[in-house]
């Protein structure tokens, strides 16, 4: 058994019940969560290294520090449920069924990438996972559309719709809240509040930093996003809320990113190195789970070290593949524009170049 932190609930639209504050974590679950979080952490650190070597180019937003959010959410829903997020998407691509090899190869723009080398860091997709979206906040109305499809098809599925604290001030999000509440859509709106939108602290960007209360007529929860079990239980509760036909629910996960906003942001001009180090030492999601398991005799130091070694090898093998796999040929450039259309000609960079699009 483990006792969780107290969750805050929005009083504007109160809930009849609350998530569990005492839960059971099995040894198997703990080891699984630890392995996934370590894989995500190591994958992002390798991406940082490859970016600095100019092997990964363009936009690249890393997720290290926020692993408990992705792992906790996935533990609280099913793979048949749907998920959409913004551009900090590598971790979710992995939890949704992508392999480290496919993700790394996509980052380096290779043929074996999860989007065949044509999507890059910001545009990765798997079954029931709709990206990786580059326009700030634009995934939120898309996610409501997925939730509408869930309701229409009557499959008892839901959509988890993620956005950051920076996107929380976008008008389209409030429009989406309104539609979702009117139509009682099975959608969990999740604000991953990592304290900084690009290079600006939440206090400088938002008149109200109570993001979980922003839904107004939608009930909200504020959750410790650094504790995988807190996130898991809150997500389970939110999923039950949606599946019971009560409509949307809003969650604010208070988390932290160790890297800058993207690889072009050193991340220390608007916050101190000491602040980052303090979060790492006091509330790192991987360290907290590790300490919890060791103190409850659920795993040994040797077992966890063995997982670390296996994860490092998997990441190194994936990086080797991502730097040696060939780039997609130009002929593939226009493929997969449509999902099931007969082949068609697409004009290239001038009226005389013709490329073929194959579904």
* C-alpha to C-alpha distance for 213 and 25, rounded to whole angstroms: 30
Strand partners, 84: 161
* Domain topology for 2-328: Rossmann fold (3.40.50)
* C-alpha to C-alpha distance for 28 and 89, rounded to whole angstroms: 26
pLDDT in single tens digits along all 359 residues of the chain: 455 555 677 666 778 888 888 899 999 999 999 999 999 999 999 999 999 999 999 999 999 999 999 999 999 999 999 999 999 999 999 999 999 999 999 999 999 999 999 999 999 999 999 999 999 999 999 999 999 999 999 999 999 999 999 999 999 999 999 999 999 999 999 999 999 998 899 999 999 999 999 998 999 999 999 999 999 999 999 999 999 999 999 999 999 999 999 999 999 999 999 999 999 999 999 999 999 999 999 999 999 999 999 999 999 999 999 999 999 998 888 898 888 888 888 887 787 888 888 98
Strand partners, 164: 192
Domain limits of the chain? 2-328, 331-358
Q: Taking the model in full, what pTM does it have? A: 0.94
Nearest to 69 by CA among 178, 232, 218: 232
Strand 8-9 to strand 220-224: parallel, antiparallel, or no bridges (unpaired)? antiparallel
DSSP-derived secondary structure for 132-194: ---STTTHHHHHHHHHHHHHHHTSS--EEEEEETTGGG-HHHHHHHHHHHHTT--EEEEEEE-
* Number of neighbours of residue 273 by Cβ within 10 angstroms: 9
pLDDT at 12: 63
């Amino acid at each position: 058994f483990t006792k969780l932190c107290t969750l805050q609930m929005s009083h504007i639209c109160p809930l009849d019940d609350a998530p569990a504050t005492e839960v059971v974590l099995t040894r198997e679950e703990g080891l699984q969560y630890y392995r996934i979080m370590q894989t995500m952490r190591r994958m992002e650190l390798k991406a940082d290294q490859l970016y600095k070597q100019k092997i990964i180019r363009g936009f690249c937003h890393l997720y290290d520090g926020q692993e408990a959010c992705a792992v906790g959410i996935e533990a609280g829903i099913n793979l048949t449920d749907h998920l959409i997020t913004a551009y900090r998407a590598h971790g979710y691509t992995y939890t949704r069924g992508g392999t480290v090899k496919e993700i790394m190869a996509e980052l380096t723009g290779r043929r074996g990438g999860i989007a065949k080398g044509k999507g890059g860091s910001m545009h990765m997709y798997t079954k029931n996972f709709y990206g990786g979206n580059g326009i700030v906040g634009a995934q939120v109305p898309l996610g409501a559309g997925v939730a509408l499809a869930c309701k229409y098809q009557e499959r008892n599925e839901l959509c988890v719709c993620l956005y950051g604290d920076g996107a929380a001030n976008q008008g389209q999000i409030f429009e989406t809240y309104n539609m979702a509440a009117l139509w009682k859509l099975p959608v969990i709106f999740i604000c991953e509040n990592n304290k900084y939108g690009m290079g600006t602290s939440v206090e400088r960007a938002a008149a109200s930093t109570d993001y979980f209360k922003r839904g107004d007529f939608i009930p909200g929860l504020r959750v410790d996003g650094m504790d995988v079990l807190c996130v898991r239980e809150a997500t389970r509760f939110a999923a039950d809320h949606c599946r019971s036909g009560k409509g949307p629910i809003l969650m604010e996960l208070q988390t932290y990113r160790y890297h800058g906003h993207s690889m072009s942001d050193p991340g220390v001009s608007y916050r101190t190195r000491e602040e980052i180090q303090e979060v790492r030492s006091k509330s790192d999601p991987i360290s907290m789970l590790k300490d919890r398991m060791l103190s409850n005799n659920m795993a040994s130091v040797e077992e966890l070290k063995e997982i670390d070694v296996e994860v490092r090898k998997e990441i190194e093998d994936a990086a080797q593949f991502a730097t040696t796999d060939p780039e997609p040929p130009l002929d593939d450039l226009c493929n997969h524009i449509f999902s099931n259309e007969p082949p068609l000609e697409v004009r290239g960079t001038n009226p005389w170049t013709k490329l073929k699009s194959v579904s």
